Amino acid sequence: MVEENTRTDNEVFEREPIIVTLGGREFSFAEPGNRRRRGLIRLLISVGHLLPSNTQKTAEKAIENDPRLGLDVVDAMLDVLYDALAVSDDDKKTLDDTAEDGEIIAAFTAVSGILRDPFGAQAETKPTRKTRRKAS
């Protein structure tokens, strides 16, 4: 007897939540559903619009040349994290004073990585028999 698979796409590709640190505190980020993911991706895009280019090297150079831009970007990243991590208003007040720039950037990178990679492409895959190359 064949059992019918009733799992949704999100359940099939669901990964374990990640833990990020802000202000010395740990926060969990679980992979969101499709609608929430799209909303969070819109926020990621808004952070990208602060930068003059999509290339990391150009963005780093722009921030180096204009420290105000760097401050704006880090604050925008923190705002995205507040939404993504569902941070309470009381915690926001604390994190505004305690979250370090390095923590914010690391947490933003981890969260945005999950949002941009909904199928877990980072997972190691093995080639099938058809795609393996013969040793010469």
Confirm whether 91 is domain-assigned: yes
Q: Of the given ranges (22-26, 46-50, 53-57), which has the lowest mean pLDDT?
A: 53-57
DSSP 15-81: -PPEEEEETTEEEEEPPPPHHHHHHHHHHHHHHHTTSS-SSHHHHHHHHHH-HHHHHHHHHHHHHHH
Lowest pLDDT segment from 25-29, 81-85, 126-130: 126-130
- Which pLDDT score, from 0 to 100, does residue 107 have? 93
pTM of the entire structure?
A: 0.70
Q: Identify whether 95 is part of a domain.
A: yes
Give the residue numbers spanning the domain of 71: 30-115
Percent of the chain with pLDDT over 90: 38
CA pair distance 61, 7, nearest whole angstrom: 46
Residue 120 lies in a domain: no
The predicted structure's pLDDT at residue 48: 81
How many domains does one find in the chain?
1
Residue 22 lies in a domain: no
